[in-house]
Each structure stands twice: as structure tokens, then as C-alpha cells.
Amino acid sequence: MKIKCLCMVLAMLLFVFALPAQDEKVEKERSEFVNLIKQNPNYFGTATVSKFQPVKLFKLNTSYEEICNLGYNPATSTVSAVVKIKKSYGYSGTLCTPGSIEYVRFFVDWNGNNSFADPGESVGVTSVNVHDIPTADKTCLEILKPISYAVSLKLDPKLKKCNSPYLVKV
């Protein structure tokens, strides 16, 4: 037990003081994301209709983070998700800096048509503050990756006359 506690203390000290290794290079598309989108709102080709031509098609990249474990709690009218932070760099700084914000937008298929594009089905955005937390050899940090954060959002659920059981897709 003492070894495990010591290991966790060492890991926490490294969270605060460690810097990313020199060979860990953050891609331009991540480090300059805001400027690229300002110059061309369709830089990554995510808009289906746009006067802007895509520069680099970029979809479903989960190398830095990934959303998993979506859920809805009807008792509290809350949707939630777990965001897994997978890399030790690319989040705008260590715990001694502001880091970066990861945003999660929730959609609910209110009418059950398997489309989340209908009006009112984007139900809101929440966020979590994340940081560069380097993984160093022999410091027990390897057991901490990925780091998972839970995010949630309170809904104002649409009331539907209940003639039959009704489950929404999140």
C-alpha cells in the first residue's frame, strides 16, 4: 500500500512540473485550429454546403480524445458522457497553465427518426478543462492514461403524451 501511495505522489508531482518530450509535436491542425477556422470555416470539410473549399478532410479523429459511455438519467433529466484524454500533449499546457477546453455537444433524437439534424435536437454544449500531463518512464503515469472526465448537461425534456413507452436516443 505504501508503494502505491508513493507512486501516486510521484505521479502528481510530475503532473505539475513535467514538460512534454521534445519529440512530441502537436499537429498544425490542432495547435492552430482557431486561426484555420477563422480563415476558412470549412477548412476540414465538415460543412456539407459551403462556398469555402476544404483544405484538409479531417473526420472522426480520436487520437487525442474520444467520447464514450453516453447516457441519460430520466430521474434528473441529465445527459452525460465520458471524455477520454489519450495523449500527454496537445492540450495547450501543463497543470500550471490554463490548458485547453474540450467541448461536448449533445443531441437527442426526440422524434425517433434516427437523425440528429432535426430542429431542436441539438440540446446544448458543455465542456471540461484539460491539460498536458506527460507520461514519464517508471513514474506510474502509464497506469493513468487515458484520463477520463465526466461531463453532463441538464435537459429540459420535451414532454410527450404517454400513450406508449417512449425512449429517446442520445
Q: List, in order, residues 6 or more apart from 71 with CB less than 8 Å away.
A: 79, 80, 81, 170
Residues 26, 30: Cα–Cα separation, whole Å: 7
Read off the pLDDT of each residue in 48-69 and give the average, rounded to a whole number: 89
Q: List, in order, residues 6 or more apart from 60 with CB less than 8 Å away.
A: none
* 8 Å CB contact between 119 and 111: no
pLDDT score for 55? 93
pLDDT score for 151? 96
pLDDT in tens, 96-153: 999 999 999 998 888 888 888 888 888 999 999 999 987 766 555 556 778 999 999 9
Give me Rg for the CA atoms of the chain: 20
pLDDT score for 149? 94
Q: Name the DSSP class of 26.
A: P
**Mean pLDDT of all residues belonging to the chain:** 78
- Give Cα separations from 104 to 20, 37, 47 (angstroms): 26, 18, 18
Amino acid at 110: W
Q: Is pLDDT above 80 for 163?
A: no
Residues 149, 85: Cα–Cα separation, whole Å: 8
Q: Name the DSSP class of 169.
A: B
Within 10 A of 133 (CB to CB), how many other CB atoms are there?
Answer: 23
Under DSSP, is residue 27 helix (H, G, I), strand (E, B) or coil? coil
Amino acid at 122: S
